Structure 1
């Protein structure tokens, strides 16, 4: 995989499926990103978020990484998708997007637990990607700071974010569900 970037300019899901299964990758606009193994703190926070959402949301499905999310352009097939991500946690309300091995189309909520090694990618590349594909809510969770930054789609763009600390309560756009931030970081 080291020299793949030199051989082609852009990759698709079809290419992605051929890569070494020992490593996890994401594709953003055709560019591959190797995913590092998460820390214990990261996994604890991901688990807490998953269970908070799973126990609160009744009409939608909640998923946890690793599960591929294919974000496709208008007439693009799944195999031609240049955008394949594995969000830490995501919520899908349209069950037709859920296939046997992946989700195709934008989830309603995507949660990324930010680590020092992913902060730039989460704040720039993924932010732009999720906005482009109209993910309704994008959460950036920072375990070390114990904060959650929530971006919500307004007129096809992310508006000013809401930032929550341990004393906050996030009200989701779907089902008016309330999540206590302290539960995420316990």
Structure 2
């Protein structure tokens, strides 16, 4: 079914009736169109990150998922027609297996990574930043493939604290997985 445009507020129940090919998110009951198909650079960086996390998480209780992967937020004791937050982060790390179902993640992932594009900067840096903070995501990364940098925010007492900006010269530890060290030259290298 096509996406209707007659309601002021939508829910996950509405979301489930929409065209599966549509790239949409639902935040506070409002529809947000995701940016057009990601650039090649976006996909390269996301692929490197997904590979690094997937290899590290093999045989561990956590899982890495890349978009499209529905993450329903603020779902406690709610039915589909009461849930009004559904996002598709570029990369979600989920350690609580109880949150996973056939439809995606029901609750906040432990970590979310968004790869910035010119059309997503405001959404990722402001709207989703506040949403993920309120939802209790423990670690939030904003990856800027154009400037070859990763900005890290860590949740402390319900507030995201800026942890730093890291570039291709850096090797960083993932806060929720201190044993995972990422060589950012490997993640952010450019291919011609």
- Same structural fold, with TM-score higher than 0.5 when normalized by the shorter chain: yes
Give unpaired runs (5+ residues) of structure 1.
Answer: none
> TM-score normalized by structure 2?
0.90
State how 1:1-186 maps to structure 2 within 5 Å.
Answer: 4=5, 7-35=6-34, 36-57=36-57, 58-176=60-178, 177-186=180-189
What is the rounded CA distance, in whole Å, between the counterparts of 2:79 and 2:165 in structure 1? 36
Contact kept? 1:78, 1:104, Cα under 8 Å? no
RMSD in angstroms over aligned alpha carbons? Answer: 1.5
The more displaced of 176-185 and 99-108 is: 176-185
Give unpaired runs (5+ residues) of structure 2.
Answer: none
What is the rounded CA distance, in whole Å, between the counterparts of 1:3 and 1:68 in structure 2? 20
How far apart are 1:54 and its partner, in Å?
A: 1.0
1:67-96 alpha-carbon deviations (Å, 9 max, x no partner): 100002543234421110111111001011
Q: How many residues align?
A: 184
What is the rounded CA distance, in whole Å, between the counterparts of 1:153 and 1:137 in structure 2? 6
Contact kept? 2:111, 2:137, Cα under 8 Å? yes
What is the rounded CA distance, in whole Å, between the counterparts of 2:135 and 2:43 in structure 1? 26
Contact kept? 1:45, 1:184, Cα under 8 Å? yes
Q: 1:185 to 1:76 in 2, by over 3 A?
A: same
What is the rounded CA distance, in whole Å, between the counterparts of 1:89 and 1:159 in structure 2? 20
SS in 1 for 2:154: strand
SS in 2 for 1:163: strand
SS in 1 for 2:177: coil
What is the rounded CA distance, in whole Å, between the counterparts of 1:3 and 1:156 in structure 2? 35
